[in-house]
Amino acid sequence: MHAITVRPTEKVDAKGRHRPGPENIEWAEVETPEPGPGEALVKVAAAGMNRADLLQRQGLYPPPAGVSEIMGFEVVGTVAALGPEVTGWAQGDQVVALLAGGGYAEYAVVPAGQLLHMPPGVDPVVASTLVEVAATVISNMDHVGLTGGETFLVHGGAGGVGQFAIQYAKGLGCTVLTTCGTDAKREFCRGLGADVALDYHEDWVAGVKEATGGRGADVILDVMGAKYLGLNVNSLATGGRLVIIGMQGGSRGELNIGKLLAKRALVTATSLRFRPLEEKAGDLPSGRGAGLADVRGRPDHSGPGGDLPDHRGGRGPRPAGVRRGARQDRAHLLRAL
Ligand SMILES: NC(=O)c1ccc[n+]([C@@H]2O[C@H](COP(=O)([O-])OP(=O)(O)OC[C@H]3O[C@@H](n4cnc5c(N)ncnc54)[C@H](OP(=O)(O)O)[C@@H]3O)[C@@H](O)[C@H]2O)c1
């Protein structure tokens, strides 16, 4: 089969680490994987692209032991073969799959518990962008018990996780605050349902305080890590919960425990990729009785034949035969309400 692979590079970052760029990816011939016990082989029709794939390409987010070195956390496609001990699935089933890796390929092996039936009437390219963000947001909000009526802040509302989080929290009946880097993205997030969209270049902590009458947010979903640790704790309400899922702002921060004590607040961090299989299966929206709804996403103009954006917005070549999972206007997103 063919897959997107990453050629080694001589390029190094400030710490001397080799960081392959988009120019290092290629459409190469690799061995077709075989499904083991409890696994399905899926013929991939479309693969979603997440920030974590871009980190993996740069060598900054290696897969867990035993998982394919190929990028790709989510695909849609057709079940091509089943390993032993798989029940409830048949060859030819149209599926959406959550992976720990291996999706940027013609075939991917998926633990059967991480398959969902492809919802009827949904564009496969759109469907390929949903399951990773849905499982991330829903599992983390369950973890900290987000409920209707609470105030929820998500950083980076215009990103993949952010877009889903805004719509999910709004659907739960929360007041939704978000942060963004540009006015256009703030406007876009308000269009998705955010009550308040703050510019993260400004004093967003003051913005949160103002929007909540000084109370702060009950739940914060953070993609920045160290850089925002203290600011996030300052922005929490009494009894508030901070969930960290990204480290775009570094991994080592300083925490004023006195503030946590005074607020009786919780700080937690999780990773979807490294969870055990049975937990992951429970995190799938289907495991929660999820349905489908029409909600909006960011228009994405990189259709087939376009370019794969770099993590800083740069552009690199797209190998033939690979379609980027687009976040399209009026896309169908998984709804877990
Ligand atoms: N732990 C897990 O299980 C898990 C699962 C999925 C994703 N993640 C992590 O979650 C993060 C988001 O993933 P994604 O796929 O949604 O990436 P993405 O689409 O590239 O979004 C990144 C977001 O970060 C925002 N951002 C950048 N600098 C910021 C700042 N200073 N303040 C606030 N927001 C800022 C961006 O906002 P602008 O575009 O407005 O600049 C953008 O919305 C990544 O770090 C990813 O690794 C973790």
Residue nearest to atom 38 of ligand 1 (CA): 181
pLDDT of residue 123: 87
CATH numbers and ranges of domains, the chain: 2-132+290-335 (3.90.180.10), 149-269 (3.40.50.720)
Ramachandran quadrant class, 220 (left: phi over 0; alpha: psi -120 to 50; beta: rest) = beta
Task: Output the CA 321–ligand 1 centroid distance in Å.
Answer: 27
Type of residue at 308: L
pLDDT tens per residue across span 272-305: 988 888 887 777 765 443 443 444 444 343 433 2
From CA 39, how far away is CA 19, in angstroms rounded?
Answer: 32
CA of 104 to the centre of ligand 1 (A): 21
Phi, psi of 131 (to 5 degrees): -75, -35
Q: Whole-model pTM?
A: 0.87
Cα–Cα distance, 309 to 159 (Å, whole number): 13
Compute the distance between CA of residue 27 and CA of residue 185 in angstroms, rounded to an integer: 33
Residues with CB under 6 A from ligand 1: 50-52, 136, 155-156, 158-162, 179-181, 185, 200, 223-224, 245-246, 248, 270-272
CA of 223 to the centre of ligand 1 (A): 5
With 0-12 CB in 10 A as exposed, 13-18 as middle and 19+ as buried, what is 115? Answer: buried
Residues of the chain with pLDDT under 50: 287-337
Smallest CA separation from ligand 1 atom 36, residue: 156
- State residue 288's pLDDT score: 44
Q: What SS3 state is found at 335?
A: strand
